[in-house]
Amino acid sequence: CGWGSTEREGGTYLPAVVPPAEQVFSQIMQLFETGGAQQAGNSTRAGLVRNLCMLFEAADCQWLFGSGCPKVLGDVVVALSDYAALAKQEADTGDPRSDAAYAAAADRTADVSLLFLSLLAKVEASKDAENLGIGAVRPFLGLVAGPIYIFAVTHGAEGPWSHPRTRSRAWELLNTLLQTVGCQSAAEFLRGQREEEEGWFAKVMQLLKPELKKETWKLSPATKYVFAWTLQQVTWPWLGPQLESVLPPSLLISDDYRVENKILGVQCLNHIILNVPAAELCQFNWAQVVYHALYNHLHTREAQLIQVVLPCLLDLLPVLERSPLQQRRKPRPPTPCDKVLQLVLTHMEAEHLLLLRRAYARNLPAFVERLGIRITRHLKRLERVIVGYLEVYDGPEETARLGILETLKCTIQHAWPRMACRLAVLLQALLRMVWDVAVDRSPTPEPVKAALLQGATECLILLDRCSEGQVKVLLEGVSHSCEDERVQECIRKVQAEPEPQLILPTA
């Protein structure tokens, strides 16, 4: 940057006549965007970035942040962020970029990160400088904090576009930015230090908005991760006012055909459900829109997706079923929870993939607890599912059978008046499972076997209570015909149980 530079003692160069900073950065912007640097190639542009970094380090704070300069400096920051970004994909055909393209992007990112660090260091120094202070650099921070945050989060995420060296430098840049604006964490930066204070979340979402449209969100592989990470930093009550800006992108990502995008979108929706008041979710029928989007995912054959969809639905169902009018109607009409459980039981009954069986069984007890006594509407199909799942060995961790035992326990507690007529089927299934576990010679850990036997014993005790002692009578014949010590121990625990330790809910 040699505007009439003259050498002084020590071999350093200073401009003979220092032009205004606004003029200098305007000329650099013209050279960077439309001049010979762009025509000469990336090597010349990289040289400009390094020279600009040295200029920031050597510049006087008063000259750098004088009147009229913050706007131009903000444009420089945006241009440098675009320079370090990956080239846009032209079509949704995966990520065709080569390792060489990623390496080149990592080099550009490293140079720009150093430049931003130098710029933020100069901002920090300006706070204590004479005739400046925080008031002089606040307009500049208002222009560049959002773009620098997006740049740091983009290149700090783990992905094929980032490198360990660039990731560490990007997180260093983010921490420096937080320190410069006086925040302790990214969450505080986005939401504000106090509830009534406006943070940077709205500005960041405004910057991301053009990249989160239906036609553009897939053009950069990092956009969805920046959005998801940013969203999850903001919690109640700060997220509610931004519902209209965060819900459409979450629905858009969850509606993609790629499983990893669906999972990411559902995770974003779950965060929104947990951190936005129910009244705001019901406004403009947003809750029903989210419900239908999640319900459609129940037809998938991907266990990983099911594992995030079912808990998300469980968090959404209280929002949908909170209507007092619906609760007063007699008889109660089927609720969304009834509809979801009906579809889940239909899939479970015919499911043979162990991963899906585990995902369903792990979440089934929560649906029973959610419905309470209304689980009686589904007892016929639920009984078939329980019996079928208790029969199948589920691998060393026995996740499915443990989940089904917990489901049966909850079902007996809530629908105990209807259990006596199902005693024969359930008792046979439980005893068969106890025998299978007792004689099992597979590598199943002993704690898992003990948990299965304990769960079966608890279910037998509950069945005995709601059948007025019929289980104890039936087990007397089993105790005389079976000599296995574990089976005998299970029977002894049931027969030795005098009074209920758990209070059965009334109908």
For residue 6, the surrounding DSSP H or E stretch is: strand 5-7
CA distance 50 to 299: 53
The three-state secondary structure class of 57 is: helix
Class of the domain covering 1-89+96-182:
mainly alpha
Domain ranges of the chain: 1-89+96-182
pLDDT of residue 1: 43
- CB-based contacts of 437, cutoff 8 Å, min separation 6: 449, 452, 453, 456, 486
CA distance 187 to 200: 10
Q: What is the pTM of this model?
A: 0.87
* Longest Cα separation, the chain: 107
Copy the structure tokens of residue 65.
């942040």
**Closest to 173 measured CA to CA, from 196, 147, 194:** 147
pLDDT of residue 315: 96
CA distance 161 to 156: 10
Copy the structure tokens of residue 45.
């542009």
CA distance 273 to 254: 14
**Closest to 26 measured CA to CA, from 79, 78, 76, 81:** 76
The three-state secondary structure class of 7 is: strand
**Closest to 296 measured CA to CA, from 286, 306, 311:** 306
pLDDT of residue 329: 55
Which segments of the chain have a pLDDT < 70?
1-19, 34-43, 66-69, 86-102, 128-136, 195-196, 323-331, 479, 499-507
The three-state secondary structure class of 14 is: strand
pLDDT of residue 135: 65
Copy the structure tokens of residue 185.
């964490």
pLDDT of residue 162: 78
pLDDT of residue 157: 83
- CB-based contacts of 122, cutoff 8 Å, min separation 6: 56, 57, 59, 61, 64
Beta bridge partners of 7: 13
pLDDT of residue 457: 95
pLDDT of residue 12: 45
Backbone region of residue 285 per phi and psi (left: phi > 0; alpha: psi in -120 to 50; beta: other values): left
pLDDT of residue 40: 43
pLDDT of residue 38: 43
pLDDT of residue 192: 84
CA distance 153 to 500: 56
CA distance 239 to 242: 5
- CB-based contacts of 23, cutoff 8 Å, min separation 6: none
